[in-house]
Structures are given as structure tokens and as C-alpha cells.
Amino acid sequence: MSLWQDANFIWVLTGTLLLGVSAATIGGMAVLRQRALIGDVLAHAALPGIMMAFILFESTQPGLVVFSALLSSLLGYYAIQFLTQQTKIKTDTAMAVVLSLFFAVGLMLLSFIQNSTMENKSGLDKLLFGQAAAMNANDVNWLIVITLLALSYLVIVFHKLRLISFDPTYAQSLGLKVKRYELSFALVLVFTIVIGLQIVGVILMAAALLIPISIARFWSQSLPVLLWLAALFAMISALISTQLSMQIANMPTGPWMVVILGVLFALSWALRWALSRGWVSTKKHAQTAGNQADV
Amino acid sequence: MYEFWILITASLVATSCALVGSLLILRRMALLGDAISHSVLLGIVLVYLIFQQASIAWMLSGAVLVGLLTAWLSQFIHQKAPLAKDASLGLVFTWFFALAIVLIALYADHVHLDHEHVLFGEMAFIPFNPLIIDGQNFGPHAFWLAGLVLLINLIVLGIGYQRFKLTSFHPALATSLGIQTAVWHYLLMTLVSVTAVASFDVVGSILVVALMVIPAATAYLLAKSLKQIMLISVLYAQAAVLIGFGLAWWLDSALSASMAVAAGLLLLITLVVKTITKKN
């Protein structure tokens, strides 16, 4: 196929695959820890940082984008903690307030930039819905570095993270620094989100984080297998959506990726359901497998 | 006249948002409001595609259907599949939203929407899209939609006030008294969807939630009863509209985003003032 000889296509495909895998695994951990929507909030909260950095330095260098997004996402993270701990505002309200307020600040700064005479401002609005097709070798190199960092973090601390996530009291009694791990996990999550901004965009980032693991939940109950499966499903959707967006003009890659993930979810559910019906007489546990999967 | 129509429409929308938002945060459903305000976009796009037009009635019914579907489907997935509540909610609304964006890209020629409209709304263009009946100009289209939705909200909330209050604060008591809590839940979801669609032209599909949640959360810090929350949040919403209008004029930024930011500033000021007065 001629697409495979296109250098641009290879870069974009590499980028979406890398993002898919790291978002699926890191996001998967977050979902299993009952924090499915924190990624959504952090992704929205990254926007004002990036816009502010652009206003100050007039540049969209990957390093600057990553750093500024990191700062403003962490600010959002602490804002949620402050609102829930220091006022009587409940968690869900605090998340919605931080998400919408940070996003609004980001959009306000974006519209301010667009109406101004600053240069190099063309790529900024792509952060909202992502534009994988515009990626070049330099962007992909950054993606490779961050993805490797995120994945090796996950591999190194996997056992401790698992302990902290599912048995925090026991972890504490072993003398593990739970708070430190919580913060480092949040940092890696934000890093992953920042990579995702260029590909799926701020608004749909949550989907890349939480749908792959949700599909995997139909097929396994063991944590390592779940994470591998999530990575696999993310790669499938990355492959299909990159093909689609390169072959049809003006097709956004990120939204297609999410639509395909949703279809995979529905297919998995239907298949699982059919299997449990068919095997109900021979294998009793197959029917209840889905319900017991609460890790 | 130009500024007048913008301000009055934004103020009607903000009032609806504040009323609905007060109930949402009391029921700990702020994120459901966020989800519905995203997925309503799919309803709007589908109505555009199927009927090739956007009359007020079709827009409202399309949005209500998709909004209710979001609430119902996320509940259904949570109950039947091994997924937590927030995960199933995130799955449903991101999928609906992504589908809407894909449809907009696929049928760009038939849908008079673009990314900008979805994000910012088109508040500055409100006065240029008048409702004309028999050649007579009755003022902007968006104004009438916002007014109609506020009327619906006021009527439903007025009639069902006691029921909404009971099912929000004491769901168990309400059930034991024979009140169908599910009916009131979905009625509220209907109001959220209707409000989201009326707000779409004004603030875009994503900032609606800012107007729903931020004034209500600020009022929640001060108020002592449901009536007070609703009243104070409406006042905060009006202040946010006015201050936001000023901000946008001063910085040459988008009207909708500036109004949401103004609501946030008011929350910040309220928090600071509250902390200071508490210490004294």
C-alpha cells in the first residue's frame, strides 16, 4: 500500500500508537483506582497554561508546551483538593468547577491571542481537538521520550502502585510513602495527557484514557492482563483512525479514534453477552464473570 | 440595540443555567450536567442532518432525546457492565461528542456548524439572526429560544419545587412516601438538556457547564436553603454576564469564555471574603 511509504503517515501512525498505549495503560490505572474523570479535568486544566506560555514567550516549542501544561494541570489538581478539603463543596462539583473554569480561561486567552497580532499562533487551536496529521519528526521524538518515561515508570513502580491502589492501609503499614506515589502518579498522568493534547485534543483526552481499559474489563480480571489488553485495543483504534484520517481529507484523527474505541466497546460487550448466554449450561462462571470483575 | 440583545439573551441563558445548576450540585450530579452539555451537540448535529433545518422545536426535541439517552445509557452500562459510574459516564459522553465532531467533519456542507461555534457559541452574531414572521422582525432567534427555555424551566421548577427539594435532600424519604424519584431525576435531566441546547448558540457546547456549576457552587457556599441557593446563584450569574461582557470588551476576547471566567472570579472573591470574615 502506498500509504505505508509515506513518511508523514509513518510519523503520524507512530505518534498515535505511542499515545494510545501510554494513555491506555496510565489512564487504565487511574480508572481502576476509581478516578476515571480526573484525566478529563487535568486535560482541560492544561489549556490556560499553554496559552499563558504562548502569550509570554510567543512560541509553541514542545518543551515549553509540556512544561506549561504540567504547571497548570497541577494547579488544577490542587484547586480540586483545596475546594473539597477547605470548603463544603463536594468532589463532583469541585471537579466540574475546575474543569470548566480552567477551560474557560484557556479559551479566553486563546481568543485574545487570535485577535492579537502575535506570530506563530496557527497551531494553538489544534490543541482543542488534536491534529495528528500535522505532526512532524520533532513532535514524534518528544512523544517517544515521554511515552518511554511513562511506561518505564509504570513498570518500575507497578507492584507498589498496585498495593497502594487496592490496599492503601496495608501499603501504609509497610511504610510506603503513599502521598509521594500519589503525586508521582498524578505527574505521569499529566505527562501522558500533554502528549495526547496534540493528537486527540483537550476535550476527548478522557476517552483515550478510559475507554481502552473499559473494553479490557470484559475480557480479564487480572491487572497485568487488563493493562496489556487496554494497550492492544488502543493500538487497534490508533491504526484504524490514522488510516481513515489520512485517506479522507479533513478528517480529524482524535474523534475517529474515540468513535472506534466506542464501537470496540459495544462489540466486546455484545460478544461477551453472547458467550455467556451460549455457555450458561456448561460453564457456570462465564455468566457471572462480568459482574465479578470489580477489582 | 446590538449590545442590548446580546446582554439580555446571555442573561436569560445564565438564569436558566443557574437554576438547573443549583439542583445539579445539590444532587452531586455536576459531572452529569457536564456530560449532557457535551452530548447535546450530537442531538443538534443529527437534527441538522436529518431535517436539513434547525427549527426551535426540532432542536429542543433532538437535544432532549440525546440528553436523556446519555443519562440513561451511562446508568445502564454502570449496572450491566463491570464499570464504575464515572467511567461509564465518561465513556458515553466522550463517544457522543466524538461522533458529533466526526459527523460535522463528514457532512461539513450540510451542517452549518464548525469547531469555533461548538467551542465559543456565536454570541456576537446573535443580533444578526433575527426571527422574522410575515416580514416582521421580532428580534433575535436566540433570544426567543433562551426565553422559551427559561419559561419552561420556571414552570417545571415552580410546579415541582417541593418534589425536587424532597428528592434532592431525602431520596429515601421521598421513595417511602411513594414519590417516583426516577421520574424527577429524568425530568431534571430533561431540563438540563433543554437548557444546554438553548445555551449552545450563546456560549457553545462546552462552556454551558461553567454557567451551570460555578454560580451555583458559589451560592452553595453562602446559602442555607434551596430557595436561597437558587436566588443567589441567579444573582451571581447576572453579575458574571455583566462583568464578562466588560472583560471581553476590554481584552477583545470571546464573550462566552469571558463570562465563564467572570463567574470564576466571583467564586474566588467570595472564597477570599468568606475566609477573611471567618477569621475575624
B75 has a pLDDT exceeding 50: yes
Q: Which domain holds residue A76?
A: 2-206
A8 has a pLDDT exceeding 90: no
| CATH superfamily label, B2-211 | ABC transporter involved in vitamin B12 uptake, BtuC (1.10.3470.10)
pLDDT score at A261: 94
C-beta atoms of B252 and A250 within 8 A: no
Within A248-283, residue ranges assigned H as helices are 253-278
**Boundaries of every domain in chain B:** 2-211
pLDDT score at A4: 65
Share of chain A above pLDDT 70, in %: 90
Q: Is residue A221 part of a domain?
A: no
What's the pLDDT band for B53 if we cut at 50, 70, 90? low
* pLDDT tens-digit series, residues B233-268: 999 999 999 999 999 889 888 888 999 999 999 999
Ranking B9-18, B126-135, B171-180 by mean pLDDT, the lowest is B126-135
* pLDDT tens-digit series, residues A157-167: 888 888 887 78
A35 has a pLDDT exceeding 60: yes
* pLDDT tens-digit series, residues B101-140: 888 888 876 666 776 777 777 677 777 777 766 667 667 8
Question: What residues of chain B lie within 8 A of the CB of A108, using their CB?
Answer: 247, 251, 253-254, 257-258, 260-261
| Angstrom distance (rounded) from CA A65 to CA A67 | 6
pLDDT score at A295: 41
Q: Is residue A165 part of a domain?
A: yes
Q: Is residue A201 part of a domain?
A: yes
- Per-chain mean pLDDT for chain B: 86
pLDDT score at A294: 45
* pLDDT tens-digit series, residues A181-225: 888 888 888 888 887 887 788 888 889 999 999 999 999 888 889
Please compute the mean of the pLDDT values over residues A129-143 and round it to a whole number: 75
Beta-carbon contacts of residue A146 (< 8 Å; ≥ 6 apart): A22, A66, A191, A192, A194, A195
C-beta atoms of B30 and A218 within 8 A: no
C-beta atoms of A218 and B82 within 8 A: yes
A282 has a pLDDT exceeding 60: no
* pLDDT tens-digit series, residues B199-210: 877 787 778 889
Q: Is residue A269 part of a domain?
A: no
pLDDT score at A173: 84
C-beta atoms of B31 and A217 within 8 A: no
C-beta atoms of B31 and A90 within 8 A: no
**Assembly ipTM:** 0.90
H/E element, A23: helix A7-32
Q: How close is the nearest chain A Cα to the Cα of B135, in Å?
A: 36
Chain B contact for A125 (CB, 8 A cutoff):
yes
**Total tally of structural domains belonging to chain A:** 1
Q: How close is the nearest chain B Cα to the Cα of A286, in Å?
A: 14
A37 has a pLDDT exceeding 90: no
What's the CATH number where A108 sits?
A: 1.10.3470.10
Strands B130-133 and B136-140: antiparallel
Please compute the mean of the pLDDT values over residues A242-269 and round it to a whole number: 86
A180 has a pLDDT exceeding 50: yes
Chain B contact for A190 (CB, 8 A cutoff):
no
pLDDT score at B44: 85
Q: Is residue A291 part of a domain?
A: no
Please compute the mean of the pLDDT values over residues A74-88 and round it to a whole number: 90
Q: Is residue A118 part of a domain?
A: yes
